[in-house]
Structure 1
Amino acid sequence: MTASYNTTAIAIGVKSIHETDLLFEYAYTPPKKDEKGVQKVDSDTIFRIGSLTKLFPPLALLKLQDRGVNFEDPITKYVPELRTLKSQAREDSPIWAVEWDEVTLGALASHMAGIPSDYITDIAPFGDLSAYGYPQANSSKFLGCAGFFGTPGCNKTVFFEHFGERPPVQAPFSAQTVYSNIGFAILGFAVEAITNQSFTDYVTNEIWKPLDMARTSATQPDEALGFIPANDVWWAADMGFEGPGGGYFSTINDLHRFGDAILQHKLLSAVQTRKWMKPLTSTSSSGLLMGAPWEIFRAENITSDGRMIELYTKTGDLINYHSQLVLIPDYDIVVTLLVAGPSGPGEGSQTSMTLMMSRIVQSLLPAIEAAGKAETAAAYAGTYTDKRTNSTLTLSLDAAAAADDGPGVAITQYIIRGVDVPRTDPGSTLPPATPPTLDPPMRYRLYPASTGAEGKTSWRAVGTMNTAEQVAQQDALFAWPMNSCITWAMMDRSTFEFGARDHFVFDVVEGKVKGVEAVGYQVHLTKECK
């Protein structure tokens, strides 16, 4: 993978939140590099992380919920001076002026505000551009700052001097998501107004220090601790007030501490974390949903059963620097990738940051899936009986068998009070007076639920009669994919005395499964010893 990377450094880490050490660690140091930086890359080497920085402003605001902050609040509640930008617009109309009172914190965090994408990337000051069709530049429009090519970073005052001249791209909450760097700088303004301290101080004290992210910073760190590509001019670039949108520095190890803390609910409560890690809108890509500011890839070709896996990611790019943090909640896995150096032709042109992440995940998850199946089979597979009620439940999961490539755990014998449930399943409707005789019988698999308690795990059963071929034939009739996948609407539908027929609760004592309650049937079965 790195054979052609003569001037590009790479650091990769893979970690389970249940393990102290990394599961996989890789670092590559190119032969050509700036001598001022590290000469050997490792997991503590500092890289610029670009837009991965964008995770911190929304998280900071979520941590301020105890002060009454809500993502539905208009940004003008905290930064009312944004309203003055209207006076700079060409005219007061939806085409030329942002309606700032309609822009919420959540809209900014999820790229749904429709506001201009950037500010400091204006190219007018950087030479004669007539060869590209531009007119002669008006020097009165120059910011005098940008942070690039030796210019100083812009401050908040500069933002309010001209940003109103930039028209909106879309109306807030339009169907089309519009990526905006500037939105995260504005969220930083809101944090400063709420906390009465700089955004950097708040993030340092409330996130980085508690997690021991000692090599993560908002300003340029010691050059000797970071990787600097040969002839690089971006290591020292000062993003100024736009720093919260893409200016920070970090390491593989620090980002793993951060990812671990998110999945282990150390930064937000469990329910706050689950709410944060949700899609909020779609994008122009059918495989990518947008959170706040999660970029959520949905893949159905990773596991053998083809089920949907969601990867919660944030990618960063700052010309020569590329980063990606990947959280996979289904597996409690954190993946980090940091790259520094050119990536054009001759420098690994076949492998972009996202392609590297995809290849890592495609290689990693099947192995983790197999290990998880083996562990689950050892704990849950077997026969459970209750002789008093003539009930038997047999669970099977053969991780090595190609025939058993489905998710969850298969129910291969399902008899309750002498009734063969798979052949008499009435579905979610009111059972008819005479039980049906199903041929072929229903097939069931058990799936773990997100609820649980000390010594108990909660599972739900999902049944199907159709084969994979029959499902594919039915789905081919519709204009959209997976029309038949409606299990989300069918769970917990059939109940008896308020207990769901599909609900199973296992007893776990000192890590060993001892029995299971079929809740809707009011039967408790004991696991037979092998």
Structure 2
Amino acid sequence: MAPLSRLGVILLFLSSLIAIINGSCSFETPFFPPPTYTRQSSEVWEAFSQIEASLSRLMSNSTDPGMNKSSYSIEVTSSKSTLWSTFHTAKDKNLTRPGAEKVNETSRYRIASITKVFTVLGILQQHAAGNLSLDHTIDRYLPDLNSSHTPDSILWHDITLRSLASQLSGIPRDWAQGDLILDLEDPTAVGLPPVSRDDPEFADLPRCDSYNDFKPCTAQDLFRDLEGRPPVFEPNQKGKYSNIAFELLGLALANVTGQAYEVYVGSSILQALGMAQTSFSKPDDSVAVLPKDIAWYWDVDEGVQNPTGGLYCSSSDMSMFLRYVLKDYKNIVDAKLNWLPLPSTIGVGSYYGMPWETLRTDKILDGGRTVTFFTKGGGLPGYSTMILVVPQYDLGITIFAAGDTDLLSDLLKMVVERVIEAADKLAGRQVDERYAGTYTADPNKLNSSVTLSYSSTHGLEITNWISNSTDMLKVISQGSQLPPTQKFHAQLISTGLHRHEKTKKGELWRLVVSLEEPAAPSVWDDLCTGDVDTAIYAGKPLNELAFWDKDEKSGRFYQLELTAFRVNLTLTDGGGGLRIGHLLGQQL
């Protein structure tokens, strides 16, 4: 075989070295590790102060009667501790049943569908214990579901526990509430035919919950209603929200544990985590956040619907739970179960998880960078709730609201985006202080150096790279076969791994080339792939870098290894307090 020309060598090297990412493709992995929150994290403390002032203006200047009847509890936590909390007590409360005198971190709310997170956690625990499988069908654990023989009934033998937990079952949303026949005095006013409750058709409707003064529904009520109920979609073909799915998961959990669902979750999750302010039983009014005119719903027993929305909880307890999730979400019950999996696509959108509702957005950060939120919201009469887990910033956010139904939306807009912007600025500053600078080989042995710079749009990137007297950025530019005006960035992406995982030494990153937006973008520019594992050289990844010699107090790294190039470079110019004399074994 004839030897490659110099240009051929450059092209081969380029194609092997780096994954090229279109400008319109936001990369799946964060540009940098999560920030560390300390007393010096001025960006976030200033943001919290500004948010507090904005919230105060919102509630004090409102002329909306609904706002005057509203209360809220908001907390932001890292995986280590609560960073900030704020509370508001409604001005206009029930005279005969006011509830908690002053809302604080111990005040309880009905958290509605956030309960689903605890139901799925119970299922994951039993899956890890080998007592059930996410990939078994639900009728294996609830054989009563097969009592129906109607041709168009739900095919339970095609619906797995994973399908139910992931909102992919295709089954109806609700069954014991939400029927307009209970609310419309005159159905004909909205074009519906009149139906008498004495009609035989009405006799088939449930006799519990909203159909019977909120009498608790039972498992038999649920099974009876599901007989002959048709599905909405084919199983596993389309995401569709279903409360019934989680009621079935709760019943399956009870069957395999031999305990009532509420008893199992109470002992295996709530007590195990120390969540003493969370329960399925109704707390005393002295700690209850009771919205005016809707306080009666505090007393409603959800019965068989508890797994989908029955918990009462305080904001401090929820922060405790979010810390538990943040600390170990990749291995929360089993190393094979990542509870917060990223969507398989790299673009922007929202997705169902188990049971997290995942949002990936590029509308907060500079440069089209994305933020991924794992959320769970809930709503019951008088209550609107939301929790958000943001692993890339090591943040968990709790927002509980009671009263005005629009308040939660206002609070989300005022709190979450500002917190993320501040956390991103903090993370960027820490990256700049800990990684940026020029790393150089011993000049007596090798002409090799790398300069790393940080920007808010491109994160940590290589802005100068000499390897054995070769300008590597020029090699990339010449060998890319891109238009001469096409700009690119040699970005570094944290992998979250270490060369030595046990000691957490040798922090591993990967290099990708990110192209700026094409001059004439097309729809296909949004077709993104996430392959950053390129070719190897003599058994080593060509685009892998490792940071070594970390100062534990400042977090500053002083050594950079280019894995495939078999070279270690020393920081010779950069912030964070250089220790050149120490690193070179010289006296300053």
Aligned partner (choices 101, 105, 114) of residue 161 of structure 2 = 105
For residue 346 of structure 1, what is the aligned residue in structure 2? none
31-40 or 127-136, which moves further after superposition? 127-136
Structure 2 equivalent of residue 390 of structure 1:
447
On the 8 A contact 1:423/1:441 being kept in 2, the answer is: no
Give, in whole Å, the separation in 2 of the partners of 1:508 and 1:292.
39
**Partner residue, 1:348:** none
Q: Spell out the pairing of 1:452-467 with structure 2 (5 A cutoff).
A: 452=498, 453=501, 454-464=504-514, 466-467=515-516
| TM-score normalised to structure 2 length | 0.78
Q: How many residues align structurally? A: 491
1:482 aligns to what? 526
Give the secondary-structure state (helix, strand or coil) at the position aligned to 1:326: strand
Does structure 1 residue 525 correspond to structure 2 residue 585? Answer: no
- Aligned with 1:121 (options 177, 183, 199): 177
Moved more, 182-191 or 164-173: 164-173
SS in structure 2 at match of 1:23? strand
Amino acid paired to 1:463: V
Matches of 1:59 and 1:192 in 2, distance apart? 13
Which protein has the bigger helix share? 2
Partner of residue 19, structure 2 = none
Aligned residue identity for 1:222: D
Q: Which residue of the partner structure matches residue 400 of structure 1?
A: none
Please tell me whether the aligned partners of residues 330 and 339 of structure 2 are also in contact (alpha carbons under 8 angstroms).
no
CA distance in 2, matches of 1:129, 1:440: 65
Cα deviation, residue 380, structure 1: 1.0
Could you tell me how far apart the structure 1 residues matched to 2:478 and 2:253 are? Answer: 52
Shift of 1:320: 1.2
AA partner of residue 455 (structure 1): K
Assess if the C-alpha contact under 8 Å between 2:428 and 2:456 holds in 1. no
Q: What amino acid maps onto 1:146 in structure 2?
A: D
CA contact (8 A) 1:33 1:230 kept: yes
Aligned match of 1:262: 325
Render the CA deviation track for 1:255-299: whole Å, top value 9, x for unaligned.
Answer: 1111110110179448758722125799xx973211111111111
Show the counterpart of 2:539: 498
In structure 1, the partner of 2:466 is 415
Is the contact between residue 148 and residue 238 of structure 1 (CA under 8 Å) also seen in structure 2?
no
1:28 maps to 88
Shift of 1:116: 1.6
Distance 2:135 2:272 in 1: 28
- State, as a whole percentage, how many aligned pairs show the same letter: 25
CA shift, 1:456, in A, is 2.1
Is 1:339 the equivalent of 2:389?
no
Q: Distance in 1 between matches of 2:381 and 2:420?
A: 30
Assess if the C-alpha contact under 8 Å between 1:262 and 1:268 holds in 2: no
CA RMSD of aligned residues (A): 2.8
Secondary structure at 1:525 match in 2: strand
Deviations 1:76-108 (A, max 9, x none): 121122111x23xxx31xxx3000000110111
Partner Cα separation in structure 2 for residue 391 and residue 370 of structure 1: 31
- 2:108 matches 1:57: no
Counterpart contact for 1:280–1:292, Cα < 8 Å: no
Q: What is the alpha-carbon distance in structure 2 between the residues aligned to residue 358 and residue 524 of structure 1? A: 46
Rounded to whole Å, the distance in 1 between the matches of 2:247 and 2:344 is: 21
Q: Which has the higher contact order (CA 8 A, sep 6+)?
A: 2
Identify if the C-alpha distance between structure 1 residues 306 and 456 changes in structure 2 by more than 3 Å, giving closer, same or farther: same
Letter matched to residue 417 of structure 2: Q
| Deviation for aligned residue 1:355 | 5.0
1:115-514 superposed matches below 5 A:
115-121=171-177, 123=179, 124=181, 131=188, 132-137=192-197, 138=200, 140-146=203-209, 150-175=213-238, 177-232=239-294, 233-265=296-328, 268-269=331-332, 272=335, 275-278=338-341, 287-343=349-405, 351=406, 353-387=408-442, 388-397=445-454, 404-425=455-476, 443-452=489-498, 453=501, 454-464=504-514, 466-468=515-517, 471=518, 473-475=519-521, 477-478=522-523, 482-483=526-527, 485-486=528-529, 488-489=530-531, 491-511=532-552, 512-514=556-558
- 1:338–1:439: structure 2 CA closer, same or farther, 3 Å change rule? closer
* Deviation of 1:122 (Å): 5.6
- Separation of aligned partners in 2, 1:110 and 1:436: 42
| Alignment partners' CA distance in 1, 2:525 and 2:212 | 48
Q: Select between 270-279 and 436-445 the one with higher mean Cα deviation.
A: 436-445
CA positional deviation for 1:237: 1.5
Of stretches 201-210 and 327-336 in structure 1, the one that deviates more from structure 2 is: 201-210
For 1:330, what is the secondary structure of its paired residue? helix
Structure 1: stretches of 5+ with no match in the other structure: 344-350, 398-403, 430-434
Read off the aligned partner of 1:215 and give its amino acid letter: Q
Name the CA shift for 1:497/1:371 in 2 (closer, same or farther; >3 Å).
same
Q: SS of 2:392's equivalent?
A: coil
Q: Is the contact between residue 218 and residue 247 of structure 1 (CA under 8 Å) also seen in structure 2?
A: yes
Task: String of CA shifts for 1:300-349, please: whole Å, max 9, x gaps.
Answer: 01111221111000000012111000001110101111011133xxxxxx
* Structure 2: runs of 5 or more not aligned: 1-57, 573-577, 580-588
Tell me, yes or no, if the aligned pair for 1:148 and 1:234 is still in contact at 8 Å. Answer: no
